[in-house]
Amino acid sequence: MMLVAAGWISILLLVGGLALDHTLTGLVTRNFDEQLGYMLTGMIGSAEIGPDGEVFFIRPLGDQRFLEPNSGLYWQIRGKGHEDFPSRSLWDRSLDVPEDHFDAKPHVYDSDQFAGEPLRVMERSIILPGSDTRWMFTVAASRKDLDEQIQMIRSILIYSFVALGVGLMLMAGLQTWYGLYPLRHVRRAIQKLRTTGAARVTEPLPQEVEPLVDELNALLAHTERQAEEARTHAGNLAHALKTPLTVLMNAATAKAPNLSDTVIREAAVMRRQVDHHLARARAVGRRAAGMSRAEVWPSLEAVLRAVERLYEQTRFDLDGNHDVSVALEKQDLEEILGNLIENAAKYGGGSVFVTVDAGDDPRYCEIWVEDDGMGIPEADRVRIFDRGARLDTEKPGTGLGLAIVRDVVEIYGGRVQLDESEDLGGLLVKLKLPRAVA
């Protein structure tokens, strides 16, 4: 920030200084030229043609320096075929004025024709009454005073702008130091978190950094929540595998005659448990990665093609929005829909109806899955989401389908709710998933 501020201050002061120098030197130079113009006008107004055809002044010019040799102020009148009419101040010198052009208006330029004495020259061509000659009226003045004034102006500008630049840089430094000072409080607060093991930044901090502290606390809460989810996840997996392993160990120790059947059954339970927890882990990882997006209708059609091969006697109907997308990974979306539609086909009476975008909340895409089965009593609609919970134990399964659906949906910020289908009379699963950002 200091380097950027110093760079911009230097550039702006340099540009401003050059512009101001050009303006002030131009103003002083124009004032100097105006003085020469007054003298030239006085010369022309005092000049007449004598009987001999030569030019002369009917009255002397007012500036005494024209009479002092080498005074730095000179005039001269030159006409072709006539002798030069110079001021006494020129003494034995003459102004080198070209005669091959006609200046109807005053012409100003710088000249170095006198060694060690740069001149500012103004000339104008005039045809005086009573003469056909083009007379070149010239007045010249030493640039010494003009150059001294310009040098003094530039010295004042340089010292002033240097002082201004130093002052601005000091102010920028103080502003940067003072403006960033609250971050030192944040650094000390974070250091305190690391050394004391505190979970949040609770000490009062300057108002300027409160949004940063709020985001930091939110990040700490998110990290703590993820760590807690990981601990819970590991504990649940260990608990889920503990019972099947115990059954296998007991059967093997007792050399049970149905050991192979027990191994197959318990291995299936463990595999389903592992699949469940892997699904949760994948969903958490993809949610953390962000920018997930999946189109609902193609995933729904893919799931139906797979389920129809398993339940050929069941009729499946789809309706709703074909273009909606949700903020989920495609694999997770298909796993959710697969669990719900397979459950509806397994426990229904032969009809499954799926409606896409059934709700009116612009933040969510609501998917309804209905069947014509026996439904689920209202008292059991919360318990059914527990891992291993099953109301119909006569049909094969592990009771993890709805638990997986609930966990994955909640990880992505959605909701799942059970109700009674008004059209089919069976279970209605209302799935609310966050819409993908367009």
**Mind listing the pLDDT tens digit for each residue in 145-185?**
899 999 999 999 999 999 999 999 999 888 888 887 778 87
- Of 213 and 22, the structure prediction assigns the larger pLDDT to 22
One CATH from 3.40.1010.10, 3.40.190.10, 3.30.565.10, 3.30.300.30 for 294-434: 3.30.565.10
Q: E strands, 102-218, where?
A: 107-111, 119-126, 135-142
**Mind listing the pLDDT tens digit for each residue in 203-220?**
777 777 778 778 888 888
Q: Sign of the C-alpha dihedral, residues 420, 426, 427, 432?
A: negative
Stretch 367-392: mean pLDDT: 73
Query: Hey, what are 362's tokens?
Result: 């612009």
- Report the alpha-carbon distance of residue 297 to residue 334 in Å, rounded: 10
DSSP letter at 436 equals P
pTM higher than 0.85? no
How would you write 90-133 as a 3-class SS string?
A: HCCCCCCCCCCCCCCCCEEEEECCCCCCCEEEEEEEECCCCCCC
Around Cβ 355, how many Cβ atoms within 10 Å?
Answer: 19
Residue 438 is predicted with a pLDDT of 67
C-alpha distances in Å from residue 344, one per residue of 294, 369, 370, 392, 409 = 23, 7, 7, 13, 18
Domains 2-149 and 294-434 share a fold: no
Q: Sign of the C-alpha dihedral, residues 26, 28, 32, 35?
A: positive
Q: What is the mean pLDDT of the chain?
A: 84
Q: Which CATH architecture has domain 2-149?
A: 2-Layer Sandwich (3.30)
Query: Hey, what are 146's tokens?
Result: 């003009």
Give 137's pLDDT tier (boundaries 50, 70, 90).
very high
Write down the domain spans for the chain: 2-149, 212-289, 294-434
In the chain, the N- to C-terminal Cα span, in Å, equals 37
Residue 386 is predicted with a pLDDT of 60
**Mind listing the pLDDT tens digit for each residue in 262-309?**
888 888 777 877 776 666 666 565 554 455 788 999 999 999 998 998
